[in-house]
Amino acid sequence: MPLMDSCERYFGTRDLYTVLSVGSDASDADLLRAYRRQALLVHPDRAEAAYRQPATASFQVLGKVHAILSNRQQREIYDEQGIVNERCDPIKQVKDWDQYFRHLFKKVNVIDIQSLEEAYRDSEEERDDLQQAYLDFEGDMDRILEVMLCARIEDEPRFRKYLEISVRAGDLPDYPAFSSQSKQKRESQKGKVHNTKDFENFEHQSVIKFLVNEGVDTPTIYERMFAVYGERCPNYNTVEKWASDCKHGYESVEDGTHTQQEEDQGPSLFREVSQEAEESALHEVGLDRTGNSLTALIKKRQKKHQGSKHLILEEQECKLSGKTKRQTQKARV
């Protein structure tokens, strides 16, 4: 597929500078920083199995774009004529775009990606990107959350607070889509964040508990969880703390019992769980009881019964031993 078509397919634009999220006046250093940031975010090593192929394609496109724009002659041709020569030396000489990336930067691991996210969050760069997204989508918070780097649903209140201050200060226009969002919708989103976070914490802690009982060390636990959860993975310090709690206060998953410490520290929504429910949580994140990765992600859905204190996990699909199984599990809370 021609490079320009690939840019449009994977990044929604045919403009090479927009692919890297830089202006046409970007310096070589700006291009290098932008390429590194974008490449880390789509690197195939951090993609779930179902998305590894498009992640690889996106990663290769980024490499080609940087190779062209970092070559003075090819950049001048593109700036003047808006065309790229895909048979030019900067592209033709590269046989492996992963090697191209590693030649420019040190070996990338999950800690690098986590560090990138921590450095970006609450930075001036994030605020600039947030303002630009606000202008691009005229205050539509759903669209803004989709395009912001490293954004999670729980970032919405933080983004909104900053934007409200900027609007009141006159730095940003007051778009109706932003200012007219009802209080009811905000409260609904707030509840959604709480429930989703409790559910994810339950999954995280169940998997950590299982792996600790299997004798897996903390760095390996973190890497395996990051490979499954990506940006939703808790940071390393949190994983380390939960792993330590499991070692010193939790009973084994196998006996199905719970200590008082576990009762006190567990997420409020999931303080009482059965062994079957914990196994279900392992399946949810792509692990079987031996800790091996499953070949498919599991669909999960939370549904609270009206007037009931049960959480139903229904229509879960996972591939085990090449067969598809449907489960309906009830975890009492």
Helix (H) or strand (E) holding 330: strand 323-332
pLDDT at 173: 93
Q: Find out whether 230 and 242 touch, Cβ atoms under 8 Å.
A: no
pLDDT tens profile 309-318 = 333 233 333 3
Query: How remote is the C-alpha of 9 from its chain's centroid?
Result: 20
Q: Find out whether 68 and 87 touch, Cβ atoms under 8 Å.
A: no
Domain residue ranges of the chain, discontinuous segments joined by +: 3-108, 116-181, 192-296
pLDDT at 56: 84
Burial of 132 (0-12, 13-18, 19+ CB in 10 A): middle
For the ranges 74-88, 196-210, 252-266, 297-311, the lowest mean pLDDT is seen at 297-311
Tell me if residue 321 falls in helix, strand or coil. Answer: coil
Query: Is pLDDT at 111 greater than 80 in this prediction?
Result: no
**Helix-helix angle 183-213:275-284, to 10 degrees:** 100
Q: Find out whether 26 and 91 touch, Cβ atoms under 8 Å.
A: no
Fold of 3-108: Helix Hairpins (1.10.287)
pLDDT at 163: 92
Q: Find out whether 243 and 172 touch, Cβ atoms under 8 Å.
A: no
Q: To the nearest whole percent, how much of the chain has pLDDT over 90? A: 5
pLDDT at 159: 92
Q: What's the number of CA atoms in the CB half-sphere (13 Å) around residue 276? A: 8
Q: Sorting pLDDT into bands at 50, 70 and 90, what band is 94?
A: low
The per-residue pLDDT of the chain, averaged, comes to 67
Residue 326 has φ and ψ, to the nearest 5°, of -110, 130
> 55 versus 206: which is more confidently predicted?
55
pLDDT at 329: 37
Query: Is pLDDT at 47 greater than 70 in this prediction?
Result: no
pLDDT tens profile 254-293 = 333 344 444 344 333 233 333 444 444 444 444 443 333 3
Q: Find out whether 281 and 206 touch, Cβ atoms under 8 Å.
A: yes
Query: Is pLDDT at 250 greater than 50 in this prediction?
Result: no
For the ranges 133-142, 188-197, 242-251, 264-273, the lowest mean pLDDT is seen at 264-273
pLDDT at 134: 92
pLDDT at 103: 54
